[in-house]
Structures are given as C-alpha cells and as structure tokens.
C-alpha cells in the first residue's frame, strides 16, 4: 500500500495520456477522412472535369451535372456514405450480367443484360426524370433505357401475377456495405411494385445515365426508375425479376416499416417520422442547391394518380 507514487510514474502516465490522445485523434482522422481522401484522388481521373460534354448537351433544361449525380449516391450495398458508391465503383464488375425471370410467367428464363436492352446501348431512349430521394433531396437525371413494360410483356406474365419483385445483386467481395457487420439491412436488397406500377409507361428499365452505361454507383448495369416514388423503390443492380400473387417484401419497408411505406409514393403531406417531405433540396451541381416545394407523386400525378384511388394514406 503506497501512499505516494513517485514522480517517474506520473511522467510515464503523462506519456501514456499524450500517446492515447494522439492515437485517438489519428484513428479518428484516418477512419473519417483518410480512407475517403486517398480513394477520391484515385477516382478523380475517371471524371476529369466537373462539367463535361454530357452536361453541355443538357444546358437547355436544369439537369443535375453528371459529376454531382455520380458522386452523391445512396447505394447501401457499397456503404452508407454517399461518396462510398463512387469510391467502390471502379472495382465493380459490370459483366457478365444476367437477369432471371421467374414466378407466375409463361416464359421464364435467364437473359443477358445486353439482350434485355433490345437495341444497342447508344440507340436506347433517353428520358429526363426528376429523382426524389426519401431523404428530401432531389436531382434531375437523364436515364437511358426502355419502358420496363416492353421487357415484362415479352415474358408473358400469367393472369394471376399481381406483383413484380426485384432482387438486387449479392456480391459482398465487391460491395463492402454487404460485408459490413454494422449494417442492419438484410441482403440482397429486394423491392417490389404492383403489376400495374411495373407496367406503367413511366416505369423505365434503365441501363445507363448521361449516356454512360458504366456507372455502378447509379445502379448499373441494370436498374429500374420509378419517378413518382422515393428513390429506394427504384431497385438497382437487378439480377432477378419475379412475378407473384402475394405482396413481396421490400428491404427498407421490412427494416423500418414505420418510416418507409411499401408503396412509398411521393406525398409532400405525409412526413417521414424524422423529417418533413413538404419540400426538397434540389441538387443541380456540386454545392448548387436550392430548396423547392415537393409535388404529389413527384410531379407525375397526372400520369399515375389513377393507380391510387381513395385515400393516399393507403399508398404512402
């Protein structure tokens, strides 16, 4: 039982305190900024300029710059941070890629993604859609593809098919978010639409954005785009499409049913429990952000409102 500790001990302890302090700070710095910094430099070459040829073509309409739309993405497969998808995109293999069609369908089968396009990529239709994220930000993005209905009809769904379920890729070795022990999401990602929604002419089978098919961060090589719903309803990296009689599960809805509805149509009057959906931050470029009011069905009400008769509360 020593009453006094000798000065040397205190000096050692000071050294311990200082070392721990420096260690804590550098660990924090490395985890938060270090890994992001180095990788963002390595991908910088891929998108040399922030306003490129692709952007010049859309100068007539207020389209989000390609740089912003490809460096600010939610794809939890790659990580929860919005810069994660772009960082991990370079090492992602876009080919070979097949999509399996099954369930209540006359002609099930597995098809190569290039077959699904129907046309060479450069000849695909381009549509500029407003993209509204559930997190109350939005972008205006040119999508390349064809109506999903064309593909679905060629598979000849049976009359009992009331829903269409989409299953995304599971490839944890290239998608670190799927390997993260801290993520509470179940993989693979699944989403679903009613057959009417899936067959709606606005629902777009998407093979590229900004005329570029090689953007995994935007869900390529094959995703769907459903512009009147929150972004997460538009499944990315699709590998399977199933026709079902019963309502299929949807990842975010399953994860937190109180926050993400099964339909997840854009309704400005129905708040997310943690934030208002009445307005959105429209991102047009890096740091170019304006707040605008959100419109019902993200502005596509005229074309889709008839799908949802009665109280919108049923379809949030």
Regarding 123 and contact with other proteins (CB under 8 A), the answer is no
**Residues paired with 145 in a beta bridge:** 125, 206
SS3 letters for 190-253?
EEEEEHHHHHCCCCEEEEEECCECCCHHHCCCCEEECCCECHHHCCCCEEEEEEECCCCCCHHH
Does 283 interact with other proteins (rule: CB under 8 A)? yes
- Say if residue 286 is preceded by a cis peptide, omega within 30 of 0: no
Instruction: List beta partners, residue 146.
Output: 205
Give whichever of 8 and 306 is closer to other proteins, judged by the CB atom.
8
Pairing of strands 190-194, 163-168: antiparallel
Using CB under 8 A, which of 37, 291, 292, 313 touches other proteins? 291
Q: Give the separation between CA 78 and CA 105, rounded to whole angstroms.
A: 32
Nearer to other proteins, 122 or 182 (CB): 182
- The least CB distance from residue 246 to other proteins, in Å, is 25
Q: Binding other proteins by CB under 8 A: which of 276, 292, 313, 314?
A: 276
- Cβ-Cβ contacts under 8 Å for 82 (sequence gap 6 or more): 72, 73, 74
Site for other proteins in 18-57 (CB under 8 A): 28, 32
Does the protein bind other proteins through residue 107 (CB under 8 A)? Answer: no
Report if residue 267 touches other proteins, rule: CB under 8 A: no
Three-state secondary structure call for residue 112: strand
Decide if residue 286 touches other proteins (CB under 8 A). yes
Q: How far is the CB of 13 from other proteins (least distance, A)?
A: 4
Site string for other proteins, 63-102 (x = CB under 8 A): ----xx--xx---x--xx-xx-------------------
Cβ–Cβ < 8 Å for 287, 302: no
What x-and-dash track marks residues 130-169 binding other proteins by CB under 8 A? -------x--------------------------------
Name which of 140 and 199 has its Cβ closer to other proteins: 140
Q: Is 296 exposed, middle or buried (0-12, 13-18, 19+ CB in 10 A)?
A: middle
Tokens, residue 194 = 């009613």
Q: ∠ CA 145-148-152 to the nearest 5 degrees?
A: 135
Give least dist CB 230 to other proteins, A.
Answer: 13
Q: Which stretch binds other proteins (CB under 8 A): 3-11, 99-107, 117-125, 238-246?
A: 3-11
Cβ at position 247, least distance to other proteins in Å = 22
CB-based contact 238:192 (threshold 8 Å): no
Q: Counting contacts by CB under 8 A, is residue 170 touching other proteins? A: no
Asked if residues 151 and 205 have their Cβ atoms less than 8 Å apart, the reply is yes
Residue 71: CB minimum distance to other proteins, A: 5
Give me the residues that bind other proteins (CB under 8 A), please. Answer: 1-5, 10, 13-14, 16-17, 28, 32, 67-68, 71-72, 76, 79-80, 82-83, 137, 177, 180, 182-185, 255-256, 271, 273-276, 281, 283, 285-287, 289, 291
């Amino acid at each position: 039982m020593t009453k006094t500790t000798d000065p040397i001990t205190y000096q050692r302890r000071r050294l311990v305190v200082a070392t721990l302090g420096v260690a804590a700070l550098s660990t924090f710095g490395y985890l938060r900024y270090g890994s992001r910094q180095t990788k963002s430099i390595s991908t910088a070459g891929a998108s040399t300029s922030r306003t490129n040829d692709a952007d010049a073509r859309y100068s007539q309409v207020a389209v989000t710059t390609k740089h912003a739309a490809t460096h600010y993405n939610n794809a939890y497969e790659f990580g929860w941070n919005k810069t994660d998808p772009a960082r991990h995109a370079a090492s992602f293999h876009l080919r070979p890629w097949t999509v399996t069609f099954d369930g209540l369908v006359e002609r099930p089968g597995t098809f190569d993604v290039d077959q699904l396009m129907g046309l060479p990529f450069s000849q695909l239709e381009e549509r500029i859609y407003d993209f509204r994220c559930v997190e109350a930000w939005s972008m205006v993005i040119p999508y390349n593809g064809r109506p999903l209905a064309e593909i679905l009809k060629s598979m000849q769904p049976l009359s009992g098919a009331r829903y269409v379920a989409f299953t995304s890729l599971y490839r944890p070795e290239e998608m670190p978010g799927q390997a993260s022990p801290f993520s509470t999401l179940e993989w693979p990602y699944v989403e679903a639409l009613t057959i009417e929604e899936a067959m709606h002419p606005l629902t777009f089978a998407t093979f590229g954005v900004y005329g570029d098919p090689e953007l995994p961060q935007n869900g390529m090589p094959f995703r769907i785009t459903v512009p009147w719903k929150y972004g997460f309803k538009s499944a990315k990296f699709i590998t399977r499409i199933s026709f079902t009689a019963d309502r299929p599960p949807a990842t975010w809805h399953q994860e937190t049913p109180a926050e993400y509805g099964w339909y997840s149509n854009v309704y400005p009057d129905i708040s997310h429990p943690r934030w208002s959906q009445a307005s959105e931050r429209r991102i047009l470029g890096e740091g170019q952000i304006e707040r605008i009011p959100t419109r019902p069905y993200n502005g596509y009400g005229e074309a889709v409102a008839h799908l949802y008769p009665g109280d919108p509360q049923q379809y949030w």
